Amino acid sequence: MRLSVFNVANQRVVLEQLRELTLRSTVHPLVTTAARQITALCESRDDECELEAVYEAVKSGTDRVPELRRGLRYVADPHWADHFTAPYRLLMQCQKGACAGDCDDHSMLVAALLGSIGFRTGLRAWGPKKGEYIHVYAVAKTPKKRSSEVVGLDTTVPEAYVGWEPPHGYTLTAWLDGDEDDE
């Protein structure tokens, strides 16, 4: 297993690292197979069903993918380090019974699964003050064709649902295709 350590200047650089790990995972066979298994019961071109199925699989679990039977459990990183696991590696860890990660891991897994089945996805950093981002979650544009709506997909907040986003704050979004939005 390859381990990389980075000292980063700011949250934009962190978001770019997360984006790159996620983007590479969208074409990994483990990720594409899992996404197709998760959404197998959705009708063709039913974007809403696919969003819900992937969201629920990561947040609560699914019998369709043994690695995600109980979902991805939330665990915090150590206080002194921010640890990132590529989505395909996270699924490998889930196969070994270690299916857990923090908001970075949750958001990358959701974005990679949805990206692998054609959604335009991204990672959104959120914070109470501009430039002070303390949380990350996945976002997707829907519908797949002629996307017009951005949907929040935070699987780490118990009361969250497809479309929920944290209230009051500032965001920075890194889309997997390389665009960036500051709000």
Residues present in the chain in total? 183
- Encoded tokens for 64: 């369709």
pLDDT for 166-180, tens place per residue? 988 999 999 999 876
Q: Which residues contact 181 (CB under 8 A, 6 or more apart)?
A: 171, 172, 173, 175
For residue 146, what pLDDT band results from cuts at 50, 70 and 90? confident
pLDDT at 7 > cutoff 80: no
For residue 148, what pLDDT band results from cuts at 50, 70 and 90? confident
Structural domains in the chain? 11-182 (3.10.620.30)
Mean pLDDT of 161-170: 94
pLDDT at 143 > cutoff 70: yes
pLDDT for 71-82, tens place per residue? 999 999 888 888
pLDDT for 35-65, tens place per residue? 999 999 999 999 999 999 999 999 999 999 9
For residues 79-101, b (16+ Cβ closer than 10 Å) or e, as one string? eeeeebbbbbbbbbbbeeeebbb
For residue 183, what pLDDT band results from cuts at 50, 70 and 90? low
The DSSP string of 71-138 is --EE-PPPTT------HHHHHHHHHTT--EE-HHHHHHHHHHHHHHTT-EEEEEEEESBTTB--EEEE
Residue 22 CB-density burial (10 A; 0-12 exposed, 13-18 middle, 19+ buried): buried
For residue 181, what pLDDT band results from cuts at 50, 70 and 90? low
For residue 12, what pLDDT band results from cuts at 50, 70 and 90? confident
Task: Specify the pLDDT at position 121.
Answer: 97
Cβ contact 125:111 at 8 Å: no
pLDDT at 2 > cutoff 80: no
Which residue, chain included where needed, has tokens 């991805």?
Answer: 72
